[in-house]
């Protein structure tokens, strides 16, 4: 902040000089350069890279992670993860995030790589990047990662590297017991790379399906099933789970339904709208067609006294415990559910209806 002290001079000339000096001290914001962030590629190479921190996820074993100097793929040490037994008092699973306080510019890389092995054959639930213990805006992950007793290199392609100009979430993992039993796995040489062998990118929303939703005004529908697939140097196609911020969503009829940058569709009026998305210049497979019938006509408010009612599903009464409202009884049932809420009015929505089973056995209801 500039403090201005005004002195009334004897000569107008000195007053003019003073004004010019004050004006010259003002910052020209047009000439300010945007802040730059380090492009450090290494996450864990024989130890934490500069500025890297670790935090265990809530409910996990806080001591599941350590550094091992005995078992390693390369160098002097590796990351060791001890997955607890089911029901272990210290934590139900192993999980945590490696993050930095200052963001890194990762836009020059296209993949996070690491080496891993385990004490036995297993599938690690989730490994990824972009979890910064905050918004997790640009999170990307792979699921059910197969590991065995041999060291193997793994790849997590970045859905859109241009987004990661100030990323704090370097690496995260989450794994529970295998068949209820504990085991150990190791990860080494965690770093970002720029590889020309990451190819054939395909983006998807709604699991690449073209879906239609019959709905009403004021309802909100999240776009799920977001992902990107890549062909790896191994020749295998790898699906990467991706958060909505990587995508750009659009609606053919914004007056009928809009879609936010977080992939949340809001129905505004009767009509039809098609929701699609792009990932950079790449069109995503899959779409959501919204067919709105307009305003929802609410059921009449019940007038019977509560002490004369046994309620299974109502916003007007206290409901009895229900095991489920749709048993999906195979092989003959075709009825599906797409329940919704309109202005705090909860609605069971059945479609493709032939019959449906509602069960209440725990406890049984004395009618």
Give burial (CB, 10 Å; 0-12/13-18/19+) of 249: buried
Position 7 scores a pLDDT of 34
Neighbours of 196 (CB within 10 A): 7
**188 & 67 share domain:** yes
Rounded to whole angstroms, how far apart are CA atoms 322 and 104? 49
**CATH assignment at residue 215:** 2.60.40.1080
**285 & 323 share domain:** no
**136 & 272 share domain:** no
Task: Name every residue whose Cβ is closer than 8 Å to that of residue 356 and which is 6 or more positions away in sequence.
Answer: 325, 326, 327, 333, 335, 350
**359 & 327 share domain:** yes
Position 349 scores a pLDDT of 86
Q: Taking a C-beta distance cutoff of 8 angstroms, is the pair 95, 29 a contact?
A: no
Q: Taking a C-beta distance cutoff of 8 angstroms, is the pair 293, 286 a contact?
A: no
139 CA to centre of own chain = 5
Give burial (CB, 10 Å; 0-12/13-18/19+) of 104: buried
Domain total in the chain: 3
Q: Taking a C-beta distance cutoff of 8 angstroms, is the pair 242, 131 a contact?
A: no
First to last CA, the chain: 75
Q: What backbone phi and psi angles, to 5 degrees, belong to 281?
A: -95, 5
Q: Mean pLDDT, 10 residues at a time, over the chain (367 residues)?
A: 35 38 49 78 96 97 98 98 96 97 97 98 98 96 98 98 98 97 98 97 97 92 97 96 98 98 97 98 97 91 93 93 92 87 86 90 86
**188 & 205 share domain:** no
4 lies in a domain?
A: no
Positive or negative, the CA dihedral 111, 112, 115, 116 is: negative
The answer, yes or no, to whether the previous bond of 299 is cis (omega within 30 of 0) is no
**260 & 129 share domain:** no
**263 & 314 share domain:** no
**153 & 210 share domain:** no
- What size, in residues, is the chain? 367
**58 & 157 share domain:** yes
Q: Among the three residues 162, 193, 224, which one is the final residue of a domain in this structure?
A: 193
Nearest to 129 by CA among 82, 164, 177: 164
Position 344 scores a pLDDT of 85
Q: Taking a C-beta distance cutoff of 8 angstroms, is the pair 365, 310 a contact?
A: yes
Position 339 scores a pLDDT of 86
Give burial (CB, 10 Å; 0-12/13-18/19+) of 186: buried
254 lies in a domain?
A: yes
Domain hosting residue 215, numbered range: 201-292
Rounded to whole angstroms, how far apart are CA atoms 19 and 17? 6
Position 10 scores a pLDDT of 35
**110 & 157 share domain:** yes
141 lies in a domain?
A: yes
Position 36 scores a pLDDT of 84
């Amino acid at each position: 902040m500039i403090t201005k002290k005004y002195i009334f001079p004897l000569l107008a000339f000195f007053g003019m000089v003073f004004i010019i000096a004050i004006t010259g001290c003002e910052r020209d914001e047009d000439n300010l350069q945007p802040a730059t962030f380090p492009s450090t590629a290494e996450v864990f190479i024989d130890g934490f890279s500069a500025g890297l921190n670790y935090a265990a996820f809530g409910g996990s074993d806080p001591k599941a992670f350590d550094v091992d100097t005995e078992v390693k793929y390369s160098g002097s040490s590796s990351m060791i993860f001890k997955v607890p037994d089911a029901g272990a008092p210290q934590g139900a699973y192993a999980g945590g995030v490696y993050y930095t306080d200052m963001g890194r510019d990762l836009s020059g890389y296209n993949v996070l790589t690491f080496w891993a092995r385990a004490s036995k054959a297993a599938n690690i639930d989730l490994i990824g990047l972009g979890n910064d213990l905050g918004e997790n805006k640009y999170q990307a992950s792979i699921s059910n990662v197969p590991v065995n007793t041999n060291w193997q290199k793994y790849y997590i392609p970045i859905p859109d590297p241009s987004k990661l100009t100030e990323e704090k979430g370097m690496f995260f993992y989450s794994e529970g017991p295998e068949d209820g039993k504990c085991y150990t796995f190791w990860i080494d040489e965690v770093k970002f790379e720029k590889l020309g062998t990451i190819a054939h990118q395909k983006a998807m929303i709604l699991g690449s399906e073209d879906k239609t939703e019959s709905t009403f005004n004021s309802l909100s529908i999240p776009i799920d099933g977001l992902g990107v697939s890549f062909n790896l140097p191994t020749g295998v196609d790898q699906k990467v789970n991706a958060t909505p911020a990587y995508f750009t969503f659009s609606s053919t009829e914004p007056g009928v339904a809009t879609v936010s940058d977080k992939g949340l569709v809001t129905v505004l009026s009767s009509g039809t709208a098609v929701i699609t998305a792009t990932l950079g210049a790449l069109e995503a497979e899959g779409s959501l067609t919204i067919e709105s019938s307009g305003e929802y006509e609410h059921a009449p408010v019940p007038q019977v006294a509560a002490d004369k009612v046994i309620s299974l599903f109502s916003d007007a009464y206290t409901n009895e415990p229900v095991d489920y409202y749709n048993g999906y009884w195979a092989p003959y049932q075709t009825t599906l559910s797409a329940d919704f809420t309109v202005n705090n009015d909860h609605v069971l929505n059945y479609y493709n209806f032939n019959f449906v089973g509602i069960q209440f056995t725990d406890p049984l209801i004395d009618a």
